[in-house]
Amino acid sequence: MIVKQSVQDSQIVSHDSVTEVVRRQLHTAIVVRRRFTAEQLANDSGVSVSAIRSYMRNDGPKEPCLSTALSLAVVLGQPAVSAIMALIGYTAAPQDEPDQIQPMQIVAGCLTQLGVIGRAAADNRIDHVEEPDTMAAADLLIATVLPLSSAGKAA
């Protein structure tokens, strides 16, 4: 017998979604872009190196709590903060940024992410090794163009 959960019975933000977003952001920053080492990120965020590595391997006993996820995201930068906040549907811009959309920054951000996807797809397929990088690039691409879309305007 299949029991369907109602909205009242299920969480808005699941364990898997938080864990996956944190894992992808860490993978992008440490492995793909090589902006940080796990040690640098631990030093800057206050999250232990073992916890960071556990989140990257996705073998930890529990999901990162909100304070941990946000501590890591703040160090990783605005795209990581946006990815964490997008789990709850929050898409507001920081108060210190201009309200006006900056098209050249959007284009530059898209080209960077398309480059990641293009490199992976150069052999006309995306294999299991390339999939995490292309998935992270696609997520960032969507987040980059969302302000231009009807969905972004409605939010």
Give the pLDDT of residue 58: 77
**Tokens at 94, concatenated:** 């920081």
What is the CB neighbour count within 10 angstroms for residue 44? Answer: 14
- Provide the residue-wise pLDDT of the chain in tens; the chain has 155 residues: 555 554 445 566 676 788 888 888 898 888 888 888 999 999 999 999 989 988 888 776 677 888 888 899 999 988 888 888 888 777 665 555 555 667 787 888 889 889 999 999 999 999 999 999 999 899 888 888 887 787 766 65
Give the pLDDT of residue 134: 93
Give the pLDDT of residue 4: 54
Give the pLDDT of residue 12: 65
Q: Are 87 and 63 in contact (CB under 8 A)?
A: no
SS (H, E, C) the chain: CCCCCCHHHCCCCCHHHHHHHHHHHHHHHHHHCCCCCHHHHHHHHCCCHHHHHHHHHCCCCCCCCHHHHHHHHHHHCHHHHHHHHHCCCCCCCCCCCCCCCCHHHHHHHHHHHHHHHHHHHHHCCCCCCCHHHHHHHHHHHHHHHHHHCHHHHHC
pTM for the full predicted model? 0.52
